[in-house]
Amino acid sequence: MPPDSDHARRSKDRWAFLTDETVLAVFYQVLVAGGVIALAAFLIHNTLDNLSQRAIATGFGFLDYPASFAINESPIPYSPADSYARAFTVGLLNTLKVTLIGIVFATLIGTVVGIARLSGNWLVARLGDCYVEIVRNVPPLLQLFFWYSAITEGLPGPRQALTPLPGVFICNRGVMVPVPIAHWAWTAMAAALALAVVGVFVLHRWSVRRQARTGRRFPVVGASVALLIGLPLVAWLGAGAPSALDLPALRGFNFKGGATLTPEFTAITAGLVFYTAAFIAEIVRSGILGVSRGQTEAARALGLRERQVLHLVVLPQALRIIVPPLTGQYLNLTKNSSLAVAVGYPDLVSVLNTTINQTGQAIEGVTMIMAVYLTISLLIAGGMNWYNRHVALVER
Amino acid sequence: MTNSPILPAPPLTPLTPALPLTPAPPAQAPGRLPWRRRPAAAFGWLRRNLFGSWSSALVTLAIVWGLGEVVPPLFRWLVTDSVLGPADPRTCLGAGGACWAFIHEKYRLILFGLYPYDQQWRPLLVILIIIALLAGSCDRRLWRRWLAPMWAAGMAAIGVLMWGGVFGLPKVETWRWGGLPLTLLLSVVGLAVAFPFAIALALGRRSTLPIIRALSVAYIELIRGVPLVSLLFMASVMLPLFLPTGVSIDKLLRAQIAMILFAAAYLAEVIRGGLQAIPRGQYEAAASLGLSYGQKVRLIILPQALTIVIPPIVNTFIAFFKDTSLVIIIGIYDLTTAAKAALDDAAWRGSYREAYLFIGVIYFGFSFFMSRYSQWLEKDLGRGART
């Protein structure tokens, strides 16, 4: 063997560590981490430079200053003299309001449409198809603009307002509905309702246990409905049955009194609900289709009635398929609620956008937007994961 | 709706999307309307599908009544009472039907934005090139060899046409770009540039190296956790702060960067789905052949993983295409913004239905075609894998 070949092998051994996996792993990670840190340092350096040049103070101190801009819709008292922090709270509450109402209605409509698409009635199924295909393929923002224009331009003015029910007015300033005048009876009713919900929960568990022990069934559904309606009714009657209403009435150019669903709120809610419902319908449909036909047939063969088949066999299995993608749709709805800024509904993004424009605190503002949405996303994901574990298959 | 402990759910059959397995309900066969063959079958079909039970018959009647109330007025508004050609705004809007004269008057503004009027054949050509590229990409025979050169050539042509400044074409600044070509460019370029980043992020998230995995997860979850609106704001107000003093960046480019950052995170999750679907044996077989990580990924894993995820990538593209409409929030002149601008003309106040219907049909056309293609492709790829 010639000596230089031996030399070559030895020198190859000397450099072998370069192809060693552990060394390479460390090397690549250091390289990537170094790159990211260098990029971050570069950006932070530039930002600090720019900020000092524009004489913008960093930090969240600006939150205590008076906001001095008006917000046309607020669940809590707010005036332009209040601080930016309070304006932020108003925006956050408005976002939460749209999100919660949107999730409830989108789920209801989506479930109905999803079941309709599986209907044996040809017309119902085709109508469901049309709805889903049209709504899904048009940008939500465009749908929002359409609803907003339909309300503000398509509906008559306050003087020619439509009155579908006595006391309810629909016009281009929004929907005005009567609200009960404040009375302690309403608080009592809310408490009674909460009590009834707890009662239904306890009743359900008790009946399940009793059925397991004795085999006798208890009419849980009827008893629950009776409890949910009866308890608040008793509270209302016990409080003297107040029935005074604050009716909206035309004063000058607009309505006073009652409660108003503003065009902005109505447009963003309608747009989000109809858009998200189309996606939820698809999820519900595939969830129900995903339960194999043998399951239904086996349940019928056991002698279960149709309602029991649905309640005890099909739904629990369909929910397992439905819940994870449904979580995704709830998250999408939450994030899409930021489209409110396009129709002028004062949601979080809209309020913080005004704040950024007034104070120049872009970094703080955008950070706050992102932090809030991340928190809401994590909360919804956490809640739905908990529910998913609840309905998920328990492997034995 | 909890699972009752008395009747434990029977063991599950595999919960694959059971579409091909489940026999479709009879109502699901609209393609085979039976009266083509026998009139008597038509009666049977009607009885089964519209009057199957008392409740079904009632619902059918209610729907027929509702359609009778809605469809004729809608048809009158759209067609018989509408004003088609050029007309004076006041007579046209008072006609009681759709005022298509508004579209006739404004379609150049809506489709091409502020692009110089006498040069608008250029964005028109760009629209046609993009449609041709998209249509060509649907043909699977072209995928292997021709896709990349085709897109490269197409993009070069689009760049020349939009910017100009060469071949005797007058130069057009990006702030004058607008309308449909801008919407298409934002989505196509956004997705194309995001694609390699998305692959890197997806591989990073599946990597065994902790720092790389953590960085990938952090990026993907952060971007997916916040709305696109906030990213667009960030690009519009924060990006200028990030750059060295004195360096400014084009507004359109800022929006495009935000769209790319956004698309990369969503695409990465789609691609990760494909990576997870590759059986372990493939990784192990590649390793046992002595392939390096790069070879393994390039030659074995990615070709299979990407093929699986083409249908969901098309779906991501549809969502992304619709999301480009959000750039209105930072004042980019896309199709939606152009339609809003056309509506700002006080003389044509009240033609929002016509304007939104017009661009709605455009958005719908692209999205519907792509979603149908993705459904077809899914079936087609599935068929290929089984044989």
B286-339 tens-digit pLDDT: 888 888 888 888 888 888 888 888 888 888 888 889 989 888 888 888 888 888
Contact (CB, 8 A) for A109 and A365: no
How many residues are given for chain A? 396
Query: What pLDDT was estimated at residue B146?
Result: 75
Tell whether B189 lies on the interface with A, counting CB pairs under 8 A: no
Looking at residue B373, which CATH number applies to its domain? 1.10.3720.10
Torsion of CA A318, A320, A326, A330, to 10 degrees: 130
Euclidean distance between CA atoms B255 and B228, whole angstroms? 11
Nearest Cα of chain A lies from the Cα of B118 at a distance, in angstroms, of 29
Range of the domain at A150: 84-181+244-391
Residue B216 lies in a domain: yes
Query: Tokens 């397992």 label which residue?
Result: A320
The confidence band for A389, taking pLDDT boundaries of 50, 70 and 90, is confident
A118 within domain boundaries? yes
What does the pLDDT read at residue A394? 60
Q: Is B29 on the interface with A (CB under 8 A)?
A: no
Q: How far is CA A129 from CA A5, A122, A169, B46, B72, in A?
A: 75, 11, 33, 19, 21
CB within 8 Å: B326 and A141: yes
| Domain contains A125 | yes
CB A107 within 8 A of CB B338: no
**Assigned domain for A275 exists:** yes
The answer for residues whose C-beta is within 8 angstroms of residue B261's C-beta and 6 or more apart is B194, B223, B231
Identify the band that residue B264 occupies on the pLDDT scale cut at 50, 70 and 90: very high
Cβ pair B252, B177 in contact under 8 A: yes
Binned at pLDDT 50, 70 and 90, residue B18 comes out as very low
Three-class secondary structure assignment of chain B: CCCCCCCCCCCCCCCCCCCCCCCCCHHHCCCCCHHHCCHHHHHHHHHHHCCCCHHHHHHHHHHHHHHHHHHHHHHHHHHHCCECCCCCHHHHHCCCCCEHHHHHHHHHHHHHCCCCHHHCHHHHHHHHHHHHHHHHHCCHHHCCCCHHHHHHHHHHHHHHHHHCCCCCCCCCCHHHCCHHHHHHHHHHHHHHHHHHHHHHHHHHHCCCCHHHHHHHHHHHHHHHHCCHHHHHHHHHHHHHHHCCCCCCCCHHHHHHHHHHHHHHHHHHHHHHHHHHHCCHHHHHHHHHCCCCHHHHHHHHHHHHHHHHCHHHHHHHHHHHHHHHHHHHHHCCCEHHHHHHHHHCCHHHCCCHHHHHHHHHHHHHHHHHHHHHHHHHHHHHHHHHHHC
The answer to whether the CB atoms of A120 and B322 lie below 8 A apart is no
Smallest CA–CA distance from A381 into chain B, residue: B225
Q: What is the pLDDT of residue A26?
A: 82
CATH number, residue A138 = 1.10.3720.10
Has residue A278 been placed in a domain? yes
Q: Please compute Rg for chain A using Cα positions.
A: 30
Judged by a CB distance cut-off of 8 A, whether residue B356 touches chain A is: yes
Total of domains in chain A: 1
What are the tens digits of pLDDT across the range B80-95?
Answer: 777 777 777 777 777 7
What distance in Å separates the CA atoms of residue A83 and residue A106, rounded to the nearest whole number?
A: 34
CA distance B162 to B155: 10
Query: What span, in angstroms and rounded, lies between the C-alpha atoms of A165 and A168?
Result: 5
pLDDT digits (tens, 9 = 90+) for B154-205: 888 787 777 777 777 777 777 777 788 888 888 888 888 898 899 999 988 8
Cβ atoms < 10 Å from Cβ of B254: 20
User: Average pLDDT, whole number, for chain A?
Assistant: 82
B 82-101 residues with CB below 8 A of A?
none
Give the max Cα distance, chain A: 111
**B135 within some domain:** no
> Which structure tokens are listed for B13?
């059959």
Closest partner residue to B6 (CB to CB) among A119, A211, A336 is: A211
The DSSP secondary-structure symbol of A19 reads: G
Is the separation of the CB atoms in A331 and A381 below 8 Å? yes
B218–A contact, CB cutoff 8 A: no
Interchain CB distance below 8 Å, B363 and A362: no
CB contact under 8 A, B328 and A295: no
**CB nearest A138 (choices: B4, B243, B363):** B363
If asked whether residues B187 and B304 sit together in one domain, one would say yes
The reply to whether B55 falls in a domain is yes
Nearest CA in chain B to A311: B1
Chain B residues touching residue A391 (CB < 8 angstroms):
1-3
Q: Is A38's Cβ below 8 Å from some Cβ in B?
A: no
- Classify residue B30: in a domain, yes or no: no
Q: Could you tell me which of A288, A297, A319, A290 has the C-alpha nearest to residue B21?
A: A290
Nearest to B241 among A29, A51, A341 (CB): A51
Q: Which residues contact A118 (CB under 8 A, 6 or more apart)?
A: A125, A285, A288, A289, B25
**pLDDT for residue B131:** 85
* CA angle (B74, B76, B78) in 5-degree steps: 65
Instruction: Please answer whether residues B344 and A110 qualify as being in contact, where contact means their C-beta atoms are separated by less than 8 angstroms.
Output: no
| Per-window interface: B 222-241 vs A, CB < 8 A | 222, 225-230, 233-234, 237-238, 240-241
With 0.95 as the threshold, say if the pTM is over it.
no
Asked if the structure places residue B141 within a domain, the reply is no
* Contact partners, residue A329, CB within 8 Å, separation at least 6: A106, A276, A279, A280, A283
What is the rounded CA–CA span in Å between residue A40 and residue A26? 21
| Single-letter residue type at B52 | G
Q: Read off the pLDDT of each residue in B345-366 and give the average, rounded to a whole number.
A: 84
**Residue found under tokens 């699986």:** B308
pLDDT of residue B15: 39
* Shortest Cα–Cα distance, A306 to chain B (Å): 15
* A188 vs B: CB within 8 A: no
Asked if residues B99 and B342 have their Cβ atoms less than 8 Å apart, the reply is no
Residue B262 has pLDDT above 80, yes or no: yes
Q: How many interchain CB pairs under 8 A, A with B?
A: 214
Instruction: Give the H or E element holding residue A298.
Output: helix A293-301
Whether A277 shows a pLDDT value over 70: the answer reads yes
With respect to residue B123, please indicate whether it lies within any of the assigned structural domains.
no
- B329–A290 CB contact, under 8 Å: no
A188-235 pLDDT, tens digit each: 888 888 999 999 889 888 888 888 888 887 777 788 888 888 888 888
Q: How many structural domains compose chain B?
A: 2
Would you call A362 an interface residue with chain B, using a CB distance cutoff of 8 Å?
yes
Structure tokens at B98: 């759709």
Reported as a pLDDT band with limits 50, 70 and 90, residue A182 is: confident
Whether residue A352 is contained in a domain is answered as: yes
- Order of strands, edge to edge, in the sheet holding A259-261? A169-171, A174-177, A259-261
Does a structural domain hold residue B217? yes
Token pair belonging to A366: 């955008």
Residue A329 has pLDDT above 80, yes or no: yes
Distance CA A371, CA B219 (A): 14
Which chain A residue has its CA at the smallest distance from B328's CA?
Answer: A342
Residue at which a domain ends, from B23, B56, B77 = B77
pLDDT at B32 over 70: no
Mean pLDDT of B211-217: 87
A105 pLDDT higher than 90: yes
Q: Mean pLDDT over residues A339-354, rounded?
A: 87
Identify the band that residue A15 occupies on the pLDDT scale cut at 50, 70 and 90: low
Query: Which pLDDT belongs to residue B26?
Result: 45
| Highest mean pLDDT out of A125-134, B116-125, B128-137 | A125-134
B34: chain A residues, CB-CB within 8 Å: none
How many Å is the Cα radius of gyration of chain B? 26
SS3 A345: coil
Same-domain pairing of B57 and B187 = no
> Residue B7 domain-assigned?
no
For residue B34, pLDDT over 90 is answered with no
Of residues B119 and B181, more confidence is placed in B181
CA A20, A25, A27, A33: dihedral to nearest 10 degrees? Answer: 180
What is the helix (H) or strand (E) element at residue A323, kind and residue range? helix A315-336
Residue of B33, B221, B226, B327 for testing the chain A interface, max A β-carbons within 10 Å: B226
By residue range, what is the domain housing residue B52?
48-77
Segment B138-151, tens digit of pLDDT: 777 766 677 777 88
The answer to whether residue B20 scores a pLDDT higher than 60 is no
With cut-offs at 50, 70 and 90, classify the pLDDT of residue A13: low
Smallest CA–CA distance from B7 into chain A, residue: A312
From chain A, the residues in CB contact with B1 under 8 A are: 311, 315-316, 319, 391
Of B9, B63, B356, the CB nearest to A123: B63
Nearest Cα of chain B lies from the Cα of A185 at a distance, in angstroms, of 32
Helix, strand, or coil (residue A249) = strand
Q: Is B363 on the interface with A (CB under 8 A)?
A: yes
Q: Looking at chain A from residue 218 to 247, which residues have their Cβ under 8 Å from any Cβ of chain B? A: none
Helix H or strand E segment including A343: helix A340-343
- Nearest chain B CA: its distance from A138 CA (Å): 5
End-to-end C-alpha distance for chain B, whole angstroms: 42
Residue recorded with tokens 């509702």: B66
Q: Which one of B233, B247, B315, B374 would you mutate to disrupt binding with A, by most A Cβ within 10 Å of its Cβ?
A: B233
pLDDT the model gives residue B28: 42
Residue type for position A150: A
Contacts of A3 (CB under 8 A, 6+ apart): none
- Gap between the Cα atoms of B16 and B25, Å rounded: 18
Which one-letter amino acid corresponds to residue A319?
Answer: L
